[in-house]
Structure 1
Amino acid sequence: MSQKPNKSIFLADDDADDCMLFEDALREVSNSTELLTANDGVELMNLMETTVPPPPDVIFLDLNMPRKNGFECLEQIRNTKAWESIPVVIFSTTSQEEMVKKVHAHGANFFIRKPGSFPKLKQAIKQVLDTDWAKHSWKPAAENFYYQY
């Protein structure tokens, strides 16, 4: 008899190596978390339409993806009634200040620059999994929004 996963995570990232590393790090942090991946924004939106409800506990969203980028996905998520309250963590290699400000203004919950090491990736995932989204501000102050590991 298999146990129900504690949490459900969606990851949208077009880099297959990044997805594999993320999954490996997630397994080391929590083996009871379900991970569904999408290779681009179009796949993510299809995944959302076919699997929600129930909503994932959190969406990790890369910004630079083909077909539909992370910013376009964030806008669609925040403008869809059934999805608008799902926590979205921007998970990107970019650290351009204007992009960080833009996704903050459009409703992302955190911005995490992709860590350069496996231990730091595990630390970032653990921080997100440990967040009590019921108590977390949906519009975090800018100084509580951007994390660089």
Structure 2
Amino acid sequence: MNLDALKVVLVDDDEDDRLLFKDAIEEVDMNTNLLLFGNGQEFMDYISLSGQPLPHLVFLDLNMPVKDGIQCLTEIRSTSTLKDLSVAIYSTSSSDKDIEQTFINGANIYINKPSDFSKLKKAIKEVLKLNWQYHTSNLNRDNFLLSI
């Protein structure tokens, strides 16, 4: 594992979406290490193991079995060692209710899963290039929903 790489996690129950994301992030010209999880519980079990390096960024699907994205986000924000993680919601849902709920619960950005591979690469690149320290200090509804 490259120590200088951006540590990125994708939590998504759809295997095709995980593989597409993996292909897209590999084509984005940035130094990343990607970990994939099939649901929120798998990720929370992994991240709570002592000595695990925290990721720089977590992409979190909303609709998953076992532990969904909202439950996972709520747990992250209420855990002292995880509360400062940068969390990008990555969902097919464009419902105002879902966007509002994730904003209120402390997600950093909301991305609608692009249906097109080139748009997916563009979205991933945009999110990876964000200066998260700056972005989270200026969090508001105008910059919460990523439009690609």
**Structure 2 regions of 5+ residues with no counterpart?**
none
Which residue number corresponds to residue 113 of structure 1?
A: 112
Q: Structure 1 residues 8 and 113, CA, compared in 2 at 3 Å: closer, same or farther?
A: same
Residues 47-66 of structure 1 mapped to structure 2, 5 A cutoff: 47-50=46-49, 53-66=52-65
TM-score by length of 2: 0.93
Aligned equivalents of 1:37, 1:80: Cα separation in 2: 21
Which residue number corresponds to residue 94 of structure 1?
A: 93
Q: Structure 1 residues 11 and 43, CA, compared in 2 at 3 Å: closer, same or farther?
A: same
The list of structure 1 runs, each at least 4 consecutive aligned residues, that deviate by more than 4 angstroms after superposition, is none
TM-score by length of 1: 0.93
Which residue number corresponds to residue 19 of structure 1?
A: 18
Q: Residues 62 and 69 of structure 2 are in contact (CA less than 8 Å); yes or no, is this contact kept in structure 1? A: yes
Aligned equivalents of 2:51, 2:144: Cα separation in 1: 26
Q: Deviations over 1:112-137 (max 9, x none)?
A: 00001001000110011101112112
> Tell me, what secondary structure is at the counterpart of 1:91?
strand
Q: Structure 1 residues 7 and 51, CA, compared in 2 at 3 Å: closer, same or farther?
A: farther
Q: Deviations over 1:33-76 (max 9, x none)?
A: 10111101110111211266421010000000000000000000
Which residue number corresponds to residue 36 of structure 1?
A: 35
Q: Structure 1 residues 139 and 47, CA, compared in 2 at 3 Å: closer, same or farther?
A: farther
**Aligned alpha-carbon RMSD (Å):** 1.6
Q: Percent identity?
A: 39
